[in-house]
Structure 1
Amino acid sequence: MNDDAAALAATIGGRVRHERQDRRWTLDQLAEAAGLSRRMVVNVEQGSANPSVGTLLRLSDALGIGLPALVQPPERALVTVTRSGEGAALWTSPNGGCAVLVAGTRPPDVLELWDWTLAPGDAHTSAAHAAGTHELLHVLEGEVVMEIDGATHILTTGDAAGFAGDVPHAYRNESVIPARFSLAVLEPGVGTTAIGRPR
């Protein structure tokens, strides 16, 4: 991990540990609630893992706090500003692609705003999110191939789409130039249903 990734992993690990201890949960209880191995939870808390977005979503859902809370300071402010370059890069590809969480709200209705870049040949596949999740995607540059529950849609610069995020979905760049898009994800009712919802 580079220095930025290591710092982010340490921040996430500390927040997961704080939230777990605040609930007086053991490592095993959090692992069971999140549907993860105990070893994975230990690695995340120690900052020694570079967890996938799916793993982070499972942890944030189990804790009932929403993904943005794992990477933002636990303080409430009227306005939270994320300066250019300060977002949390939670996915990267060997080709240079990157997904940066640039803003988010707190539970119960968690809204995430992402800045995605897919390098040529990049693909990101996501399992179905929690029931009721919705996503909005707006292509800023290039071409994005979306696959939503088995159906393929091709979006080019300026195109936008809205879709249910509680079905399997994927984003791909099959062109020879980078693609960039904004993604908003709404997950209603975080922390108001049974813990350990599948992701």
Structure 2
Amino acid sequence: MDLEGMTAAIGKAVRTARLAQGWNLDHLAERAGVSRRMLVQVEQGQSNPTIASLLALSDALGFGLPQLMAVTNEPNLAVTRNRHAPVLWQGHSGGHARLVAGTAPPNVVELWDWTLEPGDSYDGGPHTPGTRELIQVREGAVRLTVGDHTEILNTGDSASFTGTLPHTYAWSQPDNEQTSAPITARFTLVVLEPVLREPAGKEPEGP
């Protein structure tokens, strides 16, 4: 699915989930902490939402990002073929982030495949309380910043950290690399978001 098709699919999924709760636009926007204008643009497929916005909306709806993006149909077995894994972030230098698997509430787990090209960087805002993230670098190197602490993770290195702090993943030249040629960084990321809140009582349905 191309970016335009993905944007339209996201908008349809958000609108369907909102109407299933009987919520109007103002109620979901307030609950998710986003503007009504942005929500309208998302639902109409006019805006490519950020990962942070998608997380806020899916959390507010009470089912988490994997279920919103239809990469899980638990409880037995959910398979996401490589060509169907949604790309939810694209870097200015060509990197991208794909949500490849996930679980449904109450304990939501997200499995991501990230690629960073030289110059690429992603800033992640604080997640909901209790969120943990785990990262393992598979190729190249990543400069990981969590709060005020920064570490360079080389191929094979891993880390875990609290997702309630601001954090950044950025491309880095590997330590002790003999060649000057830039190496694409690729890493696996797991996000655990425990016990999403249940949706509140229904509001009168609106536009």
TM-score scaled by length of structure 1: 0.92
Q: Which residue of 1 aligns with 2:130?
A: 132
Distance 1:136 1:60, change over 3 A: same
- C-alpha distance 68-47 of structure 1, shift in aligned 2 (>3 A): same
Aligned pairs, number: 193
- How far apart, CA to CA, are the structure 2 residues paired with 1:27 and 1:18? 12
Query: Based on CA coordinates, which of the two structures has the bigger radius of gyration?
Result: 2
Residue matched to 2:186 = 180
Q: How does 1:117-156 map to 2 (within 5 A)?
A: 117-156=115-154
Shift of residue 8 of structure 1? 1.2
Gaps of 5+ in 2: 174-181, 202-207
Is 1:190 the counterpart of 2:199 in the alignment? no
Unaligned runs of 5+ in 1: none
Partner Cα separation in structure 2 for residue 165 and residue 17 of structure 1 = 27
1:140 Cα deviation after fit:
0.2
Q: Retained in 1: the 8 A contact 2:152–2:172? A: no
2:41 paired with 1:35: no
Structure 1, residues 23-45: CA drift from partner, whole Å, max 9, x if none?
A: 11110111111111111111111
Q: Distance in 1 between matches of 2:65 and 2:100?
A: 12
Matches of 2:66 and 2:160, distance apart in 1: 21
Question: RMSD of the TM alignment (CA)?
Answer: 1.7
Equivalent position to 2:61, from 52, 60, 63: 63
String of CA shifts for 1:4-53, please: whole Å, max 9, x gaps.
Answer: 11111121111111111111111011111111111111111111110000
Aligned counterparts, 1:15-164, within 5 A: 15-72=13-70, 75-76=73-74, 78-164=76-162
Q: Percent identity?
A: 49
CA contact (8 A) 1:139 1:157 kept: yes
In the alignment, the residues of structure 2 paired with residue 59 and residue 179 of structure 1 have an alpha-carbon distance, to the nearest angstrom, of 29
Q: CA separation in 2, counterparts of 1:20 and 1:103?
A: 23
Q: Which amino acid is the alignment partner of residue 167 of structure 1?
A: L
Aligned 8 A contact 1:82 1:103 in 2: yes
Matched residues in 1 for 2:71 and 2:162: separation? 29
Quickly say closer, same or farther: Cα 1:21–1:150, change in 2 above 3 A: same
Q: Alpha-carbon deviations, 1:82-114, whole Å to 9, x = none? A: 112221100001211000000000011000000
Shift of 1:73: 6.7
| Cα distance in structure 2, aligned partners of 1:107 and 1:28 | 24
